[in-house]
Structure 1
Amino acid sequence: MDNTDLAALLDCVGRTWTPSQRLHVGDVAWAYAHGDGSAAPDVSLAWGDPLLGFADVWLPGSTGQPATAALHLAAQTMTTRQLAEAVDELLRVAPRVTVEASRQQTEVVEALRTRGFRETGGPWFARLWRSLADLSDLAAHPVPEGYSVRPALRHELARRVEVHRRCWDPARIKRMLGLPVTGDEAGSGYSAERHRAVMDTPVYRGELDMVAVAADGSLVAYGLGWLDAGSGSVLFEPVGTDPRHGGRGLGRAVCAEILRAARDLGATQAVVGPRGDGGYPAPRRLYEGLRMREVAQVVSFVTG
């Protein structure tokens, strides 16, 4: 399959979406636009017509480490044999490979285990969910005094990019993860070109690209919501607050506004995928404060 066919990837993920699966259409669009900073895969695999599953594979070169694969299998519409054949083809491309899968997608986990995959025991991600039927609880998360929250404007692209870069500065992320900071870390690679690619994806909605604005007009926090109209679900990916304005409830206020806007656009439920283990607990606390609860655990499996 030509990996440029984003529409097919979005249809594959959205057609049988459940809150407990690893990918939402927003994850696909964000990764496809390289918003996450990922490189183009070395190999792309696809199964079924219409598409039932796909994998992007990054080979390790001469490092001796396992390859990495981003794998999606629509287990609800694939037979046991089709699941096994897909995993077998992945292993032919990368005999030693790490993948992530939701523990709640038991058919996928079983297909991996029967082919020799085992859990790595490393960091894992939670899948948190809430209904949007009643948003009255969001009144507990008002916009802090001196700030406002609104959708980002097209003419402020440079400022929208800069607030992302401040929030996701690599040295800052290392500190939050308890990793050593060397002082020679490069800045964030997020750019205007990358954000334009995000905006060009068919599921980007400007109404859900929210920013928090300080009294001096500077952008100090943001959150991007991705609406899947088919399932009526909205995903948060990513969300960030400038560290100089942290601890004031801006993250929750931005997310609360995304939930209201998504509800007005027809969404009935929301999901997000923060770290689930204790290595980076702040994002999970933010979303649980918005009454989002765990419905799945996404863990790493490795073979070889």
Structure 2
Amino acid sequence: MNTADLAARLGCVGRTWTPQQRLHPGNVAWASARGDGSTNPDIALTWGNPLWGFADIWLPPSGARPASVTLHLAPGMTAHQLAIAIDEVLRVAPHVTAEVSLQQTELVDALSGRGFHRADGPWFAQLWRGLADLSDLRAHHLPDGYSIRRVRRDELVERVEVHRRCWDPVRIKQLLNLPVTGEEPGSSYSIEKHLAVIGSPVYREELDLVVEAADGSLAAFALGWLDPEAGSILFEPVGTVPAHAERGLARALCAELLRVARDLGATQAVVGPRGDGAYRVPRKVYEGLGMREVAQFVSFTNR
């Protein structure tokens, strides 16, 4: 994605952002760097000038499965505008699955009117809190031997490696109680991807935090994305190295991230963990920081 396209998408998402909207500018930046593990889409569609909607479409290799679509249509669009966008998606990919916010009722209604229904499978919760009073976060502190700091510019390799260890596909399968075959690839996160993250116009090095262990290694990390217009920060992603898990590192790290974001002008924070029961741990971590559910993001399909 070129700089102009990214800027247009960031503006489109930022102009209408509320905690009930599925995409935050941070999601757009993270996905554009392919930090989320996605590949470049097969088809990209846009609507409006200035932009009021866009879609990325990944076509299945055999056509047997629905195409996967990331769809953003700004809240407040008319039924006619929503119909134009959805119909254009269906012209290039007749069978699709897209994740939407249940709170964006006009979009849900437009999809339902074209034969879409809620798909089986995981869904995500949007958790939110205000940042006016952070006194409750004093209870979240690190164990002895650990410290929180901003990532240094001379430790790019270490910063990428801590992400890869936290989000290793085998580990994620184990956390989800899925079978491990032994043929899983390693994490796709790379120096090139992190450089793209750093190059994003909404990246702030003050919000790229790590936990350092007593031996100097990185034990956890958390990346925050600040949208100054809405005064909102998104956590995406957060991780703890397996050897340092279950010590409260992620919660203490995110508590510090909230304090830093507040000092930078943020007034609210959001994060989107799994909402279903298959993987409860991240949600419990964030709820322990006083965050509560304000929206549900679910998949709709016409297959």
Same fold (TM over 0.5): yes
1:67 paired with 2:57, answer no
Q: Whole-Å Cα distance in 2 between the matches of residues 112 and 224 of structure 1?
A: 33
CA contact (8 A) 1:3 1:44 kept: no
User: Within 5 A, what are the aligned runs for 1:217-232?
Assistant: 217-232=216-231
1:215 paired with 2:214, answer yes
Alignment match, 1:131:
130
Alignment match, 2:112:
113
Q: Whole-Å Cα distance in 2 between the matches of residues 88 and 3 of structure 1?
A: 28
CA contact (8 A) 1:75 1:83 kept: no
Q: Which letter does structure 1 place at the counterpart of 2:75?
A: A
Percent identity of equivalent pairs:
67
Q: Whole-Å Cα distance in 2 between the matches of residues 72 and 178 of structure 1?
A: 31
Alignment match, 2:98:
99
Alignment match, 1:22:
22
The CA RMSD measured in Å over matched residues stands at 1.2
User: Within 5 A, what are the aligned runs for 1:93-242?
Assistant: 93-242=92-241
Q: Kindly provide the CA deviation profile for residues 209-235 of structure 1, in whole angstroms up to 9, marking residues without a partner as x.
A: 000000111001000000000000000
Seen in structure 2, the aligned counterparts of structure 1 residues 121 and 190 have a Cα distance that, compared at 3 Å, is: same
Shift of 1:85: 1.1
1:269 paired with 2:268, answer yes
Q: Kindly provide the CA deviation profile for residues 28-78 of structure 1, in whole angstroms up to 9, marking residues without a partner as x.
A: 0000000011100000011111000100000112151000100001022x1
Shift of 1:272: 0.3
- SS at 2:285's partner residue? helix
Seen in structure 2, the aligned counterparts of structure 1 residues 33 and 118 have a Cα distance that, compared at 3 Å, is: same
- SS at 1:68's partner residue? strand
List structure 1 segments (4+ residues) > 4 angstroms apart after TM superposition: 1-4
1:255 paired with 2:236, answer no
Alignment match, 1:297:
296
CA contact (8 A) 1:151 1:208 kept: yes
Q: Whole-Å Cα distance in 1 between the matches of residues 262 and 149 of structure 2?
A: 16
Shift of 1:79: 1.0
Shift of 1:121: 2.5
Q: Kindly provide the CA deviation profile for residues 128-182 of structure 1, in whole angstroms up to 9, marking residues without a partner as x.
A: 0000000001101012211000110111000000100110111110000111111
- SS at 1:186's partner residue? coil
- SS at 1:37's partner residue? coil
- SS at 2:51's partner residue? coil
Structure 1, unmatched stretches of 5+, are none
Shift of 1:187: 1.4
CA contact (8 A) 1:211 1:223 kept: yes
- SS at 2:155's partner residue? helix
1:8 paired with 2:8, answer yes
Q: Name the count of aligned residue pairs.
A: 303
- SS at 2:61's partner residue? coil
CA contact (8 A) 1:9 1:51 kept: yes
1:285 paired with 2:290, answer no
- SS at 1:235's partner residue? strand
Structure 2, unmatched stretches of 5+, are none
- SS at 2:84's partner residue? helix
Q: Whole-Å Cα distance in 2 between the matches of residues 63 and 183 of structure 1?
A: 28
- SS at 1:299's partner residue? strand
Q: Whole-Å Cα distance in 2 between the matches of residues 251 and 98 of structure 1?
A: 32
Q: Which letter does structure 2 place at the counterpart of 1:72?
A: H
